């Protein structure tokens, strides 16, 4: 799967999550609570659709802060650590999970796996460390490593890193995530155009 196709899938999923969170004109927004790669379906044209709303909750919309207190649920490896620790569910909990999905797309690895090195069992921890130490080459899937333009990679990894911040107040809104992913796609397409 090419980098452009991966980016388009991420953009489609991000737009779907942005739609659920923004709820323009509505009194409530949808908090999914189980964003993960297997809950992002693709149609015959590779368009992304968010699925499995079985754990979703409705929260008040059009407020600066929307939160619900609930028993933490979700899939290990994707679940927001702040939500798991406090039970405070926010739209930023979905943003964290989406950040994990972005790192999965980049690396081709599962969010949580049985690697021999216990420090690398959790993908988000490995990806964040690689971002912070500027060693992302160790994380990028080999089939796309030589294909990704440096500007596109920088934009993509920066937004994935921001989504996966430990504290919810440091995570971006989905509108910013969508814009960053669209910019990453544009940067990649421009690099191809100018290299020819």
* Residues designated as active site: 34
Report residue 15: phi and psi, to 5°.
-65, -40
Q: H or E stretch including 8?
A: helix 3-22
Cβ-contact 159, 103 below 8 angstroms: no
Nearest Cα residue to 32 out of 127, 98, 104: 98
Q: Cα(133)–Cα(151) distance, rounded to whole angstroms?
A: 18
Q: Cα(120)–Cα(171) distance, rounded to whole angstroms?
A: 23
Cβ-contact 82, 93 below 8 angstroms: yes
Q: Cα(196)–Cα(191) distance, rounded to whole angstroms?
A: 9
Q: Cα(61)–Cα(83) distance, rounded to whole angstroms?
A: 19
Task: Find residue 59's DSSP bridge partners.
Answer: 29
């Amino acid at each position: 799967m090419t980098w452009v196709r991966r980016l388009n899938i991420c953009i489609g999923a991000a737009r779907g999550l942005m739609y659920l969170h923004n709820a323009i004109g509505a009194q409530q927004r949808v908090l999914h609570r189980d964003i993960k790669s297997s809950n992002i379906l693709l149609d015959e044209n590779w368009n992304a659709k968010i699925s499995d709303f079985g754990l979703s909750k409705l929260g008040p919309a059009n407020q600066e802060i929307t939160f619900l207190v609930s028993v933490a649920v979700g899939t290990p490896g994707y679940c927001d650590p702040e939500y798991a620790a406090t039970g405070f569910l926010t739209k930023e909990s979905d943003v964290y999970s989406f950040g994990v999905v972005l790192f999965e797309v980049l690396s081709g690895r599962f969010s949580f796996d049985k690697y021999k090195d216990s420090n690398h069992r959790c993908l988000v921890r490995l990806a964040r460390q690689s971002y912070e130490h500027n060693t992302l080459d160790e994380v990028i899937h080999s089939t796309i490593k030589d294909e990704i333009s440096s500007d596109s990679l920088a934009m993509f990894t920066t937004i994935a890193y921001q989504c996966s911040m430990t504290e919810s107040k440091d995570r971006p809104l989905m509108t910013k995530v969508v814009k960053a992913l669209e910019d990453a796609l544009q940067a990649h397409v421009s690099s191809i155009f100018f290299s020819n």
